[in-house]
Structure 1
């Protein structure tokens, strides 16, 4: 559940705007060529839509697999340049070269068995995105606890009293309420640094002040990932673009139409001063 929630870097309201990103390049025509042929989950008609979809896809791959890989391919017939994703499994960087280890596999059509392979990829046309180290450490520490909690999520059933023939209503001294409280406390402690609400929206044990602080923290971590992906995207596109234009460069950043870390920091300070309503914080974090 966390992976699904954290990968939603953009909310539905963002899709209605066409000025989501600031884009600057020294070769606008080549830039349009690249963005006009990027394969994403949905068909995008504008550059902003394409970037939004691309960043979303990269974020999901980073959260699920820790890496996202794309390659520029030139169509022999049309001479068009396409940017397509490929599996990051087995891909490593070695002295500036990208190498992919491919395990044995069978052809789905004729059941032919292919041997293991080590492929040397064209590094000049490959773009690899990595999870930023601070966020990687944050998620790793949290997920270790979440895995343990998942393993024992239903362990309380072991303490249910079994009906006996001579005593069908025997007393059970196990405190299920305290068990649930301990699990919930461990869950909130594990997700403290990420700010995830664990999809628990109604609890008398939490205050609105507590929820708003965590909501700001969670959204800030999402925006940090978004901005890091945009920075990597700028660097990778500038690098592979030099194959076609040695001087090509591009820079992509979020515009004022998107939420910003600076404004979230300001909201947090105002919250501590009791200078902003809970509804305003919830509205900003959930709609922008």
Structure 2
């Protein structure tokens, strides 16, 4: 294991199983979460995936150096030359949200080329990042380096010392993190038992080709539904369930509002963190650089949802009005 000062590796291919030290240090994540968790992650991270989102600018970007802010947001990549600042902010916020919801953290690193003036802000994995003696470090196990013009080579493990001035770190708000942690534990249990019904089906035999099954599958489904709705009460997620005959419109409306409010809490916190982190890395080029990102009136606000919920409680609006307010903005 060697210690080097170097930019982080976005991904690295292991040529063998990691050693016990690697397993102790690295926080391994599964490649794909299970059924319910995967659906929730997709739904919760879709912060701007509603109709009417193209009506006017969605974001206010106020900066002491507009050109530098544009480069930091758009990566100064020729492929994105035509992308507006509004589109760049939206893409960056969505990418951060997806990483936060799935992994609980998101890391970006500022890569610059002094000769060409190019600036790139690229994401890299969070499972192998730590903080030691005031510096961000990346733990990289032994890996296989692919080469197109010669044989592949084995590279020894490394502890990479990252330039903290170029690291952007994003974390879930504490309340959201605690909420998702509790919910995901229950969703994991439900996913493990998703196809357990087959274990309660008696096996047919030659003597008894049509065995009687005394197991009540209705009770099983109802129990699973109750566990699901209790586990998702705090987030308000409905699991994409359309069986409204088991739920009242009032129940669905309050759930929709609660789920959207949690999304907006996450969105606004990402705005805050993105403003702070961009200001920090931007000072590598301009000591006085600042940038502030916020939503315009074309985006829904928590205040809007609070007023909507108050009207629903007073029975001044119905199910259709709530759906229009949630999905039209």
Q: Is the 8 A contact 1:18 1:48 kept in 2?
A: no
- Which gives a bigger RCO, structure 1 or 2 (Cα 8 Å, sep 6+)? 2
Report how many aligned residue pairs link the two structures.
287
Q: Is the 8 A contact 1:97 1:120 kept in 2?
A: yes
1:95 positional shift = 4.7
**1:174 matches 2:212:** no
- Provide, for residues 43-94 of structure 1, a one-character-per-residue CA deviation record: whole Å limited to 9, x for no partner: 7611010000000000111112221111222224411222222222311233
**1:150 matches 2:188:** no
> Partner residue of 1:24?
62
- Provide, for residues 79-124 of structure 1, a one-character-per-residue CA deviation record: whole Å limited to 9, x for no partner: 1222222222311233542111111111133331111111111111
Consecutive unaligned residues in structure 1, runs of 5 or more:
none
- Provide, for residues 11-52 of structure 1, a one-character-per-residue CA deviation record: whole Å limited to 9, x for no partner: 25465244111221222232233234266x987611010000
TM-score normalised by L of structure 2: 0.82
2:111 equivalent among 73, 95, 101: 73
1:277 positional shift = 1.9
> Partner residue of 1:47?
85
Consecutive unaligned residues in structure 2, runs of 5 or more:
1-38
2:100 equivalent among 47, 54, 62: 62
> Partner residue of 2:40?
2
TM-score normalised by L of structure 1: 0.93
SS of the residue 1:11 aligns to: coil
- Write the distance in 2 (CA, Å) between the matches of 1:227 and 1:44: 26
- Write the distance in 2 (CA, Å) between the matches of 1:38 and 1:7: 26
Q: How does 1:151-230 map to 2 (within 5 A)?
A: 151-230=192-271
- Write the distance in 1 (CA, Å) between the matches of 2:145 and 2:109: 23
Q: CA RMSD in A?
A: 1.9
1:208 positional shift = 0.8
> Partner residue of 1:33?
71
CA 1:28–1:180 in 2, change beyond 3 Å: closer, same or farther? same
2:295 equivalent among 254, 267, 282: 254
